[in-house]
Each structure stands twice: as structure tokens, then as C-alpha cells.
């Protein structure tokens, strides 16, 4: 029997591990697949709801690390995950994405001589001011196997000294989850609940570079107020953003006309909104991919992206915090019928996790 541990910690991890968990079920009991939840995100809406909606197995371990500074959070995950690795002696640790839990568990496993597989490897924004870029680079530099979502990942890892034989372009497990949930979207009542009439656009914003700086957040808030005069916006607010809006005395923004505010949403409700939206304004990484897959225009409130394939399809445009660029992109998105947006990749087909698990099992003797 082989034992595999997959780690999940924060909201954007859960949809990436769900199809991996499902795919390993076909190989039980020869393969024991354990989920470790670090507890980086802990609220029902940021965590538990995803397990329920995506039918993810109950984690074998909850590390309950909670919020904290980067150092505190990363260190706490390492301390707790080391105990799990020593107890369980897994043959492989799988980490996904680029959050603090990803890098913490990769380092911990590697120092115990446990091989590490990184799903969503090789993505680079080339912006070391982003905590996620640091996490991505460190995780990739010590991983044994890289599973790639897009060709840029391979080019980046080759430049960083990886050998082709250890890299596998498999597609996107986050899109696997989107394919899984699509037939269930009609179960969501979020459109009625928020009393939304179409057309509307979705807004999400939580990146430290946009919301942690008073001047930057104030400027974005002003631009968004202007945007809301052109099209209704729905803004599910991340806890970090809500706290900063209040801290910087911008709470009047939460009453502005043309913007429907709500708390962070569960996966089913968010995907229902996205699927019915005209376009999306975001600083998220994953939403750029989800929008591209659904062939929606995506106006990205960042200067760079680690997911360049989303720009190549014609879905995504990077506008930073430049008000002229934002207004221009919003005008184009309002008048777009989506026909100019190409499909992302044949590999974004809902079956990436099956490919990943097959590769891991084929490599069994090397584990
Ligand atoms: C983290 C990830 C980011 C990802 C984002 C998605 C890192 C470095 N960043 O950023 O890549 O895009 O998750 O959400 O790992 N909080 C709650 N409830 C929770 C979790 C957090 O209220 O369940 C609040 C806390 O006040 C916390 C703040 O949100 O301080 C930020 O959470 P944290 O995990 O530190 O970073 P995110 O901004 O969520």
C-alpha cells in the first residue's frame, strides 16, 4: 500500500484538491489518500462550504493554524505538519497552488526526505512583491514532480533548471471542479437572493497590493464608483478587504449606488454568479482562469499575471490601477459578445486530476 498526503489550507486550494481526492478513490485500498487541512482559512464560508459542495473527504488532520503574519502562519503550519509526516510516513506529499500552506508543507516534507509533487507548478508573475510568487518559486525549487496547467509553466521551469521528464502538462484541476459543478449551478438561488437583474459584472479584490495600502485602495474605490455608473457590480467581499475598507475610513463606499455588496460566497453561488455575469473585474489569480474557461471578459486589476494563457485567449486584460485603462477595458467588456474569446486548452477538460493520479501511480516504483 502506498500512502499519499494532499495538503489544502486556503480557499483557492479546495477546488484544486477535490478532483484529486475523487480520482484517488478509484485506487483504494492500494493507495491510501489522506487530506491534511492546515486551517489557514477556517470560516465556514472560506473553507467548510467547499468541502460540502465539492464532496471532498473529511480531512484526516486539521492543523488549525488560523490567521497570522506570514512568518507566524508559515511556521505554525510547518510545526504541525512535521508531526503528521512523522506519524504517517507518507510516500508522497502533494501540494497545490501558491499559498503559505503550500510552501510550508513542501519544505517540511522535503526536509524529511518525502518526495513532493506540486500541482499548478511553474506559474510566474515575476513580481517578488507578491507573497504568492515567493511561495511558488520556493515550492518549485524543492519539488520532485511538477504538474503544469499551461505551457508557460514548462518554459519557466526549464529556465530554472528542471528536466522535462519531471514535468507534466496535465491541465487544470481547478477547471475540473468547475466542470463538476456546472450541471449543479441551477440549484443556487444567489441571483434571486441578491435580487440581481442582468447585465451585471462581478468584482473581487483582496490582494495585499490593492487593499492593504490606503492610497491604492482609495483610488480603486473611486474608479469602481465610476464603473458602477456604467454597469451594476456585484462585490462579494473577502474578509481582508472588508477590514481594510473600514480601517481606512472608506465605509461610505459600502453604500454606493450600483454595487451590490455581499459577504464572501460559497463555490456554487460564486460560480453561478460568474456564469451569469457579463464580465469580471478581479485581482484574483484563479478567477482569471475560470473566466477564460467560461469565455468571459476578465479585467484584471494587476500589472502582471502568472497565468499568461488567459491573456492569449482574448479573455483577460491587465489594467493595474490605471483609471483610463480600467474604464476602457470595462467599456470593451460591456460591448463584448464573447465571440472573440478562444478556448483555453484541450487539456482544460475536467480530467486533469485523473491524468495526475495516473502519472503518480505509473511512477509508483520511484516513490
Ligand atoms: C490567502 C492567500 C492568497 C489567496 C487568498 C484567497 C497566501 C500568502 N495568500 O490570502 O494567495 O488568493 O488566500 O482567499 O497564502 N480571514 C477570515 N476567515 C478565514 C480566513 C481569513 O476572516 O477563514 C481573514 C483574517 O482576518 C486574515 C485575513 O482574512 O487575517 C487574510 O487571510 P490570509 O489567509 O492571511 O490571507 P488571504 O488574504 O486570505
Continuous segment of H or E residues that includes residue 95: strand 92-96
Q: Is the CB of 37 under 6 A from ligand 1?
A: no
Kindly report the protein residue whose alpha carbon is nearest to atom 3 of ligand 1.
99
Residue 367 has pLDDT above 80, yes or no: no
2 vs 91: CA distance, rounded Å: 6
Residue 366 has pLDDT above 90, yes or no: no
Q: Nine-digit cell at 108?
A: 517540511
Q: Is the CB of 240 under 6 A from ligand 1?
A: yes
SS3 285: coil
Q: Nine-digit cell at 67?
A: 490567521
Question: What number is the average pLDDT over the span 289-313?
Answer: 97
Q: What is the pLDDT of residues 237-249, one digit of tens each?
A: 999 999 999 999 9
Q: Is the CB of 124 under 6 A from ligand 1?
A: no
Preceding amide of 156 cis, omega within 30: no
What does CATH list as the number for 2-172+348-366?
3.40.50.2000
pLDDT class of 1 with cuts at 50, 70, 90: confident
**Are the C-beta atoms of 63 and 36 separated by less than 8 Å?**
yes
Q: What is the pLDDT of residues 103-141, one digit of tens each?
A: 999 999 999 999 999 999 999 999 999 999 999 999 999
- On whether the 184-335 domain is CATH 3.40.50.2000, my answer is yes
Nearest to 62 by CA among 34, 93, 29: 34
Q: Which atom of ligand 1 is nearest to the CA of 100?
A: 15
Average pLDDT over all residues of the chain: 96
Question: According to CATH, where is 3.40.50.2000 located in the chain?
Answer: 2-172+348-366, 184-335
Q: Is the CB of 46 under 6 A from ligand 1?
A: yes
Residues with catalytic function: 206
> How long, in residues, is the chain?
367
Full-model pTM:
0.96
What's the number of CA atoms in the CB half-sphere (13 Å) around residue 265?
Answer: 23
Give distance in angstroms: CA of 63 to centre of ligand 1: 16
Amino acid at each position: 500500500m502506498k500512502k499519499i498526503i494532499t495538503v489544502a489550507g486556503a480557499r483557492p486550494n479546495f477546488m484544486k484538491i477535490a478532483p484529486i481526492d475523487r480520482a484517488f478513490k478509484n485506487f483504494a485500498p492500494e493507495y491510501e489518500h489522506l487530506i491534511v487541512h492546515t486551517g489557514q482559512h477556517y470560516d465556514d464560508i472560506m473553507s467548510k462550504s467547499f468541502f460540502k459542495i465539492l464532496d471532498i473527504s473529511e480531512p484526516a488532520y486539521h492543523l488549525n493554524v488560523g490567521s497570522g503574519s506570514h512568518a507566524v502562519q508559515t511556521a505554525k503550519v510547518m510545526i504541525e505538519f512535521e508531526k503528521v509526516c512523522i506519524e504517517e510516513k507518507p510516500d508522497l506529499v502533494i501540494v497545490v497552488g501558491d499559498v503559505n500552506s503550500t510552501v510550508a508543507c513542501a519544505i517540511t516534507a522535503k526536509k524529511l526526505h518525502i518526495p513532493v509533487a506540486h500541482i499548478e507548478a511553474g506559474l510566474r508573475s515575476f513580481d517578488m512583491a507578491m507573497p504568492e510568487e515567493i511561495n511558488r518559486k520556493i515550492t518549485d525549487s524543492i519539488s520532485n514532480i511538477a504538474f503544469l496547467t499551461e505551457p508557460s509553466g514548462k518554459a519557466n521551469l526549464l529556465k530554472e533548471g528542471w528536466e522535462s521528464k519531471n514535468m507534466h502538462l496535465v491541465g487544470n484541476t481547478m477547471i475540473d471542479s468547475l466542470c463538476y459543478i456546472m450541471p449543479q449551478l441551477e440549484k443556487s438561488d444567489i441571483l434571486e437572493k441578491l435580487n440581481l437583474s442582468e447585465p451585471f459584472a462581478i468584482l473581487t479584490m483582496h490582494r495585499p497590493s490593492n487593499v492593504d495600502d490606503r492610497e491604492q485602495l482609495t483610488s480603486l474605490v473611486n474608479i469602481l464608483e465610476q464603473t458602477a455608473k456604467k454597469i451594476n457590480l456585484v462585490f462579494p467581499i473577502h474578509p481582508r478587504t472588508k477590514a481594510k475598507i473600514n480601517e481606512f475610513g472608506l465605509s461610505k463606499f459600502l453604500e454606493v449606488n450600483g454595487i451590490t455588496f455581499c459577504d464572501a460566497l460559497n463555490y456554487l453561488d460564486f460560480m453561478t454568479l460568474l456564469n451569469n455575469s457579463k464580465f469580471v473585474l478581479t485581482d484574483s489569480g484563479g478567477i482569471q482562469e475560470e473566466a477564460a474557461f467560461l469565455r468571459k471578459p476578465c479585467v484584471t486589476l494587476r500589472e502582471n499575471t502568472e497565468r499568461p494563457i488567459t491573456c492569449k485567449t482574448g479573455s483577460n486584460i491587465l489594467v493595474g490601477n490605471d483609471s483610463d485603462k480600467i474604464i476602457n477595458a470595462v467599456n470593451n467588456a460591456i460591448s463584448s459578445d464573447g465571440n472573440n474569446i478562444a478556448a483555453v486548452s484541450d487539456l482544460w477538460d475536467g480530467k486533469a486530476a485523473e491524468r495526475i493520479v495516473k502519472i503518480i501511480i505509473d511512477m509508483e516504483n520511484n516513490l
